[in-house]
Amino acid sequence: MKKKWSILQGCLVVVSLLAAGLLWQAQRSVAAPAAPLLLNGAGATFPYPIYSKWFDEYHKLHPDIQINYQSIGSGGGIRQVLAGTVDFGATDGPMTDEQLSQAKVRILHFPTVLGAVVPTYNISGLSAELRFTPEALAGIFQGKITKWNDAELTRPNPGVNLPGNDIVVVHRSDGSGTTYVWTDYLSKVSEEWKTKVGKSTSVNWPVGLGGKGNEGVAGLVKQTPNSIGYVELIYAIQNNMPYGLVRNSSGSFIKADLASTTAAAAGAAKEMPDDFRVSITNAPGKDAYPIASFTWLLVPASIEDGAKRKVITDFLHWMLNDGQKHAEPLAYARLPKAVVAKEVKAISEIK
Amino acid sequence: MASTAVVVEGAPRPGRARAFLLRLRSGDEVAHLITLVFASAIFLITALLVFELYRNSALAREKFGWHFLTTRTWDPVFENFGALPFIFGTVVTSAVGLLLAIPLGVGAAIFLAEMAPARISDALTFVIELLAAVPSVIYGLLAMFTLVPLLRTVVQPFLKKHLGFIPLFQGPNYGVGLLAAGIILAIMIVPFIISISREVLMAVPVEQREAALALGATRWESTWKVVVPYARAGILGSIFLAMARALGETMAVTMVIGNDPKITSSLFAPGYSIAAVIANEFTEATSDLYIHALIELSLVLFVLTIILNGLARLLILATQRKGTAHP
């Protein structure tokens, strides 16, 4: 027994010495070459595919710079940038004045790309493209329009034989930027929605079933006859889902695509505030699709670490010029030129 | 270890120290200490968990007080939060799950332990343990693509037609809802009940069976009147474990429950569970009060689990006193 212990102890000592030696060696070899500059970001999930593409491409151009991005959700992105635990955040809905007032350093919003949200539906035996008025969408999601053959739906769709079935409403159950854009739009077109439900990443839905994620909503809509839901345009395109046209503020019915989404941003760009916190739902413009939104990077206006500041400003310049080329292959709408020019000016505010 | 020896040698009573050192070297004391640390870690983690949940829900507790438990609204925009629909959804889906899973699970366990030939029993047990290890998102997908359409097109119309006079089976038929969530929970917890109950039944001493058979009991009588009562505590234990899993299940439930915080009398209606709303809304919750309300919900789930487990334990005690066969 005694002997066994001493052998064991001997082994332990040898092993721990070895481990310590190895560790020391490892630390030395890491410290020797210049460490790559590491930037950390966190936030919105909606732009995650384009962001990871950008950070990857940027890393190829600058092998000594590595940008990590965690898509933990807009809420998490805002919280972490307020707490200063990340170098930059990302969000699908702009920060509120209250949130900005909590920040220790001023936080700047930089629009990166645009997304749109579309109404998708499943009516048995119907393949026609439906046209939706703002009143129809607000009425359906408030539970006031309950049948597919309601006058508000049949009037803009002459020649379409809408059934008299009950409408099953489907919405997102998880908090999401998609819901923010959708409810922001409904708040603009319906005073009652604005006062009773409001806009947020999650709301108290008057009616409907909740599906988790775009795929949850899409799954429920596909399976449930006579249902209507909303998903991101990218998701609808990639999954070949039918989606309806929506009447914009100039009275024309617009089908969502990358061009009509960029048009919405161009329409709103004329009145773009200096801090870029702007909603572009129901934007003016004949070709503008009304349910669209920017997605933003959140960058502190003062960055003490000079190297990091240089990288962030350089990345923003690259993203606004070369980076925009990567947007459309991934089904994101690119920024209109006027917005890019305004953002380039704003980058100089980072000190 | 060397440093310990030095300190102990310097102590005033070398005799005692030597004895301690000896015990230390024999390993008993070390094992005792290490296992004690591990055991107290469990307690510490639980205490820390409750403390953190309590501390981080302060804003919601101050603002809503006990009304949090009785309010039916959950409105993130106007920041009015209440837990009642979520408590309702959690309890109802777990109850439906247990109601379906208990007879199925205990029945299957009795068959596997008492009646099935050993080869079949072993093979089936392997499959059941495999089922227990399937990730819950897989069950959720199964429910979404198979169970929900089946419920919508066959089961719910059938129930509505024949049992529609009961409020439980009325209202619009979406497929997703409390019933779908309850059924998928039943499927998920049945392997636990079978697996543990079977082990417990097999552990019943063979003399008990022989004695019953010797008294002229049939095979079934010896199983039902002697073996099952003998193993009752263990079977109930398996049911509690299943209940705990059902109460906390998140992914599979949120995929089919409909995620609508309402309280209705119909099992066809959509509902919402505590675990599901936390998982759904936590990532995008921005305001402090909203986050605190979600954390208070976790606290409610924790307390709910403790209460239901406590009630279950009381039930065991009560039946044990009345019991005759239990040792």
**pLDDT more than 90, % of chain A:** 62
Place of tokens 């009961």: B166
CA distance A138 to A197: 11
Touching check for A202 and chain B: CB below 8 Å?
yes
Nearest to B280 among A72, A203, A212 (CB): A212
Exposed/middle/buried for A32, CB within 10 Å: 0-12, 13-18, 19+?
A: exposed
Say which amino acid occupies A136. A
**Run of H or E including B74:** strand B74-75
Collapsing DSSP states into helix, strand and coil, what is residue B83?
A: coil
Choose among A277, A271, A278: nearest CA to A338.
A271
CA distance A277 to B213: 82
- CA-nearest residue to A215 within chain B is B255
What are the per-10-residue average pLDDT scores of chain B (327 residues)? 44 69 76 92 94 94 93 92 95 96 95 91 91 92 92 92 89 91 96 94 92 92 92 90 92 93 92 94 86 95 92 79 50
Say which amino acid occupies A29. S
Half-sphere exposure for A346 (CA within 13 Å, toward CB): 25
Neighbouring CB atoms inside 10 A of B78's CB total 14
Average pLDDT on A288-313 reads: 93
Which of B146, B251, B284 to mutate: most A Cβ within 10 Å? B284
Q: Write the pLDDT tens digit of every residue in A233-255.
A: 988 888 888 999 999 999 999 99
Q: Which of residues 126-155 of A touch B (CB under 8 A)?
A: none
Backbone angles phi, psi at B76, to 5 degrees: -70, -20
- Is residue A6 scored above 60 in pLDDT? no
pLDDT at B25: 72
pLDDT at B211: 93
pLDDT at A14: 56
Touching check for A197 and chain B: CB below 8 Å?
yes
Q: Write the pLDDT tens digit of every residue in A71-110.
A: 888 888 998 999 999 999 999 889 989 889 988 899 999 9
Q: Write the pLDDT tens digit of every residue in A184-238.
A: 999 999 999 999 999 988 999 999 999 988 888 998 999 899 999 999 998 888 8
**Shortest distance, CA A275 to any CA of chain B (angstroms):** 20
Angle, CA of B252, B255 and B259, to the nearest 5°: 120
Contact A173, A234 (CB under 8 A): no
The CA-based dihedral angle spanning residues A253, A256, A259, A264, taken in that order and rounded to the nearest 10 degrees: 70
CA distance A230 to A243: 9
Give the CA diameter of chain B: 86
Predicted model pTM: 0.83
Average pLDDT on A309-330 reads: 93
**3-state secondary structure string, chain A?**
CHHHHHHHHHHHHHHHHHHHHHHHHHHHHHHCCCCCEEEEEEECCCCHHHHHHHHHHHHHHCCCEEEEEECCCHHHHHHHHHHCCCCEEEECCCCCHHHHHHCCCCEEEEEEEEEEEEEEEECCCCCCCCEECHHHHHHHHHCCCCECCCHHHHCCCCCCCCCCCECEEEEECCCCHHHHHHHHHHHHHCHHHHHHCCCCCCCCCCCCEEECHHHHHHHHHHHCCCEEEEEEHHHHHHCCCCECEEECCCCCEECCCHHHHHHHHHHHHCCCCCCCCCCCCCCCCCCCCCCEEEEEEEEECCCCCHHHHHHHHHHHHHHHCHHHHHCHHHCCECCCHHHHHHHHHHHCCCC
Lateral strand order in the sheet of A131-132: A131-132, A245-247, A253-254
**pLDDT more than 70, % of chain A:** 90
CA distance A145 to A119: 15
Touching check for A176 and chain B: CB below 8 Å?
yes
B219 Cβ neighbours under 8 A, 6+ residues apart: B114, B115, B213
Contact A268, A281 (CB under 8 A): no
Choose among A134, A255, A112, A274: nearest CA to A191.
A134
**Shortest distance, CA A224 to any CA of chain B (angstroms):** 7
**Residues in chain A closer than 8 A to B282 (CB atoms):** 175
- For strands A88-91 and A107-122, give the pairing: unpaired
Touching check for A4 and chain B: CB below 8 Å?
no
Touching check for A77 and chain B: CB below 8 Å?
no
CA distance A243 to B247: 38
pLDDT, chain A, mean: 88
pLDDT at B18: 80
pLDDT at A351: 85
Contact B176/A204, CB-based, under 8 Å? Answer: no
- CA-nearest residue to B74 within chain A is A204
First to last CA, chain B: 46
Choose among B258, B129, B131: nearest CA to B182.
B258
pLDDT at A13: 55
CA distance A226 to A222: 9
Nearest to A73 among B1, B152, B283 (CB): B283
CA distance B296 to A102: 23
**Residues in chain B closer than 8 A to A199 (CB atoms):** 77
